[in-house]
Structure 1
Amino acid sequence: MTVRDDTRFMSSRRGLLAAGAVLATPGIARAQARFPDRPIQIVVPWPAGGSADVQLRSIGDLCTRALGQPVVVRNQPGAGGTLGPMTVAQQARPDGHTLTQMHLSVLRRPWMMRTPQWDPIADFTHIIGMTGWLFGTAVRADSRFRTWADMIAFARANPGRLNYTTSGIGTTNHLAMETIQEKEGIQLTHVPFRGSNEAVTAVIGGQVDMVCDSSTWAPFVENNQMRALSVWTAERVRRFPDVPTLKELGYDLVVTSPYGVSGPRGMDEGVVRILHDAMRDALLSPENAEVRARFDMPLVYQDTQTYRAFIAERVEYERAMVRRLNLTLDG
Structure 2
Amino acid sequence: MRQTKPQNPQRRRLLVASAAAAASGAAGLLLPSAARAAGYPNHPITFICPWPPGGTGDQSMRALCQVASQALKQPIIVENRSGASGMIGTKTLAMAKPDGYTIGQIPISVTRFSQLGTLHLDPRKDLTYIARTSGQTFGIAALSSSPFQSLKDMVAYAKANPGKLTYGHSGIGGATHVGMEEFSQIAGIKLTPISYKGGAAALQDVLGGRVDLLADSSSWAPYVESGKLRLLATWGSERTPRFKNAPTLKELGYDMVVEAPNGVGAPKGLDPAVEKTLRDAFRVAVNSDEFKRVTGNIDAPVMYLDGPEYLQYVKQVYTQETELIKNLKLKELMQIA
Band the TM-score falls in, shorter-chain normalisation: 0.7 to 0.9
Query: Partners of 1:99 and 1:211 in 2: how far apart?
Result: 31
Query: Partners of 1:192 and 1:247 in 2: how far apart?
Result: 25
2:144 and 2:230 in contact (8 A); partners too: yes
Query: Partners of 1:149 and 1:181 in 2: how far apart?
Result: 13
Q: CA deviation at 1:131?
A: 0.9
Aligned partner of 1:98 in structure 2 is 102
Alignment partner of 2:87 out of 82, 86, 92: 82
**Structure 1 position 308 matched with structure 2 position 311:** yes
Q: CA deviation at 1:116?
A: 5.3
Q: CA deviation at 1:141?
A: 2.2
**Structure 1 position 172 matched with structure 2 position 175:** yes
Aligned partner of 2:212 in structure 1 is 209
Alignment partner of 1:243 out of 235, 242, 246: 246
Aligned partner of 1:25 in structure 2 is none
Larger relative contact order (CA 8 Å, sep ≥ 6):
1
Alignment partner of 2:114 out of 99, 106, 110: 110
Aligned partner of 1:7 in structure 2 is none
Residue type at the aligned position of 1:165: G
- Give a deviation string over 1:87-140, Cα, whole Å, max 9, x none: 2112x1101111121122111112112x75122122211111111000111112
Q: CA deviation at 1:306?
A: 0.8
3-state DSSP of counterpart to 1:191: strand
Q: CA deviation at 1:29?
A: 6.7
* 1:1-331 map, 5 Å: 32-90=37-95, 92-113=96-117, 117-328=120-331, 329-330=334-335
Residue type at the aligned position of 1:270: A
Q: Aligned pairs, how many? A: 302
Query: Partners of 2:99 and 2:60 in 1: how far apart?
Result: 23
1:31 and 1:268 in contact (8 A); partners too: no
| Structure 1 unmatched runs, 5+ | 1-27
Query: Partners of 2:316 and 2:250 in 1: how far apart?
Result: 25
Q: CA deviation at 1:144?
A: 2.2
TM-score, scaled relative to structure 2: 0.85
CA RMSD of aligned residues (A): 1.9
3-state DSSP of counterpart to 2:310: helix
Query: Cα–Cα, structure 1 residues 185 and 323, in superposed 2: closer, same or farther, change >3 Å?
Result: closer
1:57 and 1:72 in contact (8 A); partners too: no
TM-score, scaled relative to structure 1: 0.86
Query: Partners of 2:260 and 2:119 in 1: how far apart?
Result: 22
Query: Cα–Cα, structure 1 residues 323 and 154, in superposed 2: closer, same or farther, change >3 Å?
Result: closer
3-state DSSP of counterpart to 2:242: coil
Q: CA deviation at 1:165?
A: 1.4
Percent identical among aligned pairs is 40
Query: Partners of 1:55 and 1:275 in 2: how far apart?
Result: 18
Residue type at the aligned position of 1:140: L
1:81 and 1:194 in contact (8 A); partners too: no
3-state DSSP of counterpart to 1:315: helix
Query: Partners of 1:148 and 1:224 in 2: how far apart?
Result: 17
1:141 and 1:225 in contact (8 A); partners too: yes
1:46 and 1:81 in contact (8 A); partners too: yes
Q: CA deviation at 1:146?
A: 1.7
Query: Partners of 1:167 and 1:123 in 2: how far apart?
Result: 25
Q: CA deviation at 1:227?
A: 1.1
Query: Which stretches of structure 1, 4 residues or longer, exceed 6 Å deviation after superposition?
Result: 28-31
Q: CA deviation at 1:30?
A: 10
| Structure 2 unmatched runs, 5+ | 1-32
Query: Partners of 1:243 and 1:59 in 2: how far apart?
Result: 29
Query: Partners of 1:116 and 1:278 in 2: how far apart?
Result: 28
Residue type at the aligned position of 1:106: V
